[in-house]
Amino acid sequence: MTSLAGAKDTEMVEKHTGASPDRVIDIEKLSLTFETGDGPVHALSDIDLKIEQGDFVSFIGPSGCGKTTLLRVIADLEKPTAGKITVNGVSPEEARLNRAYGYVFQAAALYSWRTIASNVALPLEIMRLSRSERQERVARNLELVNLSGFEQKYPWQLSGGMQQRASIARALAVEPDLLLMDEPFGALDEIVRDHLNEQLLQLWAKTSKTVAFVTHSIPEAVFLSTKIVVLCPRPGRIYDVIESDLPRERSLDIRETPEFLRIAHRVREGLKAGHSYED
Amino acid sequence: MSTQTVSRSRVDIPALLAWFIVALVVVGLFCPIFRPDFRVMDVPRLSLCLVILAIAAVRYELGFMRNRFGDLMLGVVTAVAAWLLIGTVSNHPGDAALGFWALTVAAWASAWLFVERLASWKSASKTTERLINLVIPALFGLTLLVLWQIIVTGAGIPKVLLPAPSEIWLRLINSVPTLWADFRQTFLKAVLAGYAIGCGSAFLTAILVDRVPFLRRGLLPIGNLVSALPIIGVAPIMVMWFGFDWPSKAAVVIIMTFFPMLVNTVAGLSASDSMQRDLMRTYASGYWQTLVKLRLPMAMPFIFNALKINSTLALIGAIVAEFFGTPTVGMGFRISTEVGRMNVDMVWAEIAVAAVAGSLFYGLVAVIERKVTFWHASVRG
Ligand SMILES: Nc1ncnc2c1ncn2[C@@H]1O[C@H](COP(=O)(O)OP(=O)(O)OP(=O)(O)O)[C@@H](O)[C@H]1O
Ligand SMILES: [Mg+2]
pLDDT attached to residue A15:
40
According to CATH, what is the number of the domain B172-380? 1.10.3720.10
Give the tens place of pLDDT for each residue, B283-312.
988 899 999 999 999 999 999 999 999 999
Distance CA A238, CA A259 (A): 23
**ipTM, two decimals:** 0.83
Residues making up chain A, counted from first to last: 279
Q: Say which residues have a Cβ less than 8 Å from residue B180's Cβ, sequence separation at least 6.
A: none
pLDDT attached to residue B212:
85
Question: Across all residues in chain B, what is the average pLDDT?
Answer: 85
Q: Is residue A71 a contact partner of residue A87, using CB atoms and an 8 Å limit?
A: no
Q: What's the Cα-to-Cα distance from A81 to each of A36, A47, A174, B190, B194, rounded to whole Å?
A: 14, 12, 30, 58, 52
Residue A252 CA to ligand 2 centre (angstroms): 26
Q: Is residue A160 a contact partner of residue A125, using CB atoms and an 8 Å limit?
A: no
Q: B10 versus A197: which is more confidently predicted? A: A197
- Residue in A260, A216, A190, A214 with CA at minimum distance from that of residue A56: A214
pLDDT attached to residue B40:
62
Among A67, A79, A232, residue to substitute to test ligand 1 (most atoms within 8 Å of Cβ): A67
Residue B193: pLDDT over 50: yes
Residue B9: pLDDT over 60: no
Residue B66: pLDDT over 80: no
Q: What is the mean pLDDT of residues A2-19?
A: 42
pLDDT attached to residue B299:
93
Contacts of A129 in chain B (CB under 8 A): none
Instruction: Please enumerate residues of B whose Cβ is less than 8 A from a Cβ of A.
Output: 275-276, 278-285, 289, 293-294, 297, 373-377, 380
Give the tens place of pLDDT for each residue, A96-141.
888 888 899 988 889 999 999 999 999 999 989 899 989 999 999 9
pLDDT attached to residue A278:
52
Distance CA B63, CA B52 (A): 16
Distance CA B139, CA B147 (A): 12
Give A7's pLDDT tier (boundaries 50, 70, 90).
Answer: very low
3-class state of residue A35 by DSSP: strand
Q: What is the mean pLDDT of residues B204-226?
A: 83
Distance CA B109, CA B5 (A): 24
Q: Say which residues have a Cβ less than 8 Å from residue B208's Cβ, sequence separation at least 6.
A: B215
Sheet holding A237-243, edge to edge: A101-104, A178-182, A210-214, A56-60, A227-232, A237-243
Q: A36: Cβ below 6 Å to ligand 1?
A: yes
3-class state of residue A188 by DSSP: coil
Fold of A2-100+176-274: Rossmann fold (3.40.50)
pLDDT attached to residue A9:
42
Residue A17: pLDDT over 70: no
Identify the H or E element spanning B159. Answer: none
Query: DSSP letters along B73-112, please?
Result: HHHHHHHHHHHHHHHHHTTSTT-B-HHHHHHHHHHHHHHH
What is the bridge-based pairing of β-strands A101-104 and A82-87?
unpaired
Minimum-distance CB partner of A105 among B279, B375, B377: B279
Number of Cβ within 10 Å of residue B187's Cβ equals 22
Query: DSSP letters along A198-227, please?
Result: HHHHHHHHHHT-EEEEE-S-HHHHHHH-SE
| Contact (CB<8Å) B281/A76 | yes
pLDDT attached to residue A13:
40
Residue B69: pLDDT over 90: no
Residue A16: pLDDT over 70: no
pLDDT attached to residue A111:
92
pLDDT attached to residue A237:
84
Q: A230: Cβ below 6 Å to ligand 1?
A: no
- Residue in A240, A245, A231, A241 with CA at minimum distance from that of residue A278: A231
Residue B165: pLDDT over 90: yes
Least-confidence region, from A47-56, A168-177, B3-12, B186-195: B3-12
pLDDT attached to residue B45:
66
Identify the H or E element spanning A34. Answer: strand A23-36
Contacts of B284 in chain A (CB under 8 A): 96-99, 126
pLDDT attached to residue B149:
93
Nearest C-alpha of chain B: how many angstroms from A206? 24
Give the tens place of pLDDT for each residue, B264-287.
999 899 888 888 989 999 998 889
pLDDT attached to residue A21:
65
In 3-state terms, chain A is what percent helix, strand and coil (to 5)? 40, 25, 35
Domain edges within chain A: 2-100+176-274, 110-175
Q: What's the Cα-to-Cα distance from B266 to each of A42, B212, B216, B277, B365, rounded to whole Å?
A: 35, 12, 9, 16, 20
Provide, rounded to the nearest whole percent, the portion of chain B with pLDDT above 90.
Answer: 38
Q: What is the mean pLDDT of residues B93-113?
A: 87
Residue B204: pLDDT over 90: yes
Give the tens place of pLDDT for each residue, A228-248.
898 888 888 888 888 888 777
Contacts of A88 in chain B (CB under 8 A): none
Q: Is residue B349 a contact partner of residue B175, using CB atoms and an 8 Å limit?
A: yes
Q: What is the mean pLDDT of residues B172-179?
A: 93
Residue A194: pLDDT over 90: no
- Helix axes B192-211 and B213-228, enclosed angle (nearest 10): 150
| Contact (CB<8Å) B375/A156 | yes
Q: Which residue(s) pair with A51 in the sheet?
A: A25
pLDDT attached to residue A238:
85
| Contact (CB<8Å) A156/B376 | no
Domain edges within chain B: 3-157, 172-380
Amino acid B143 reads T
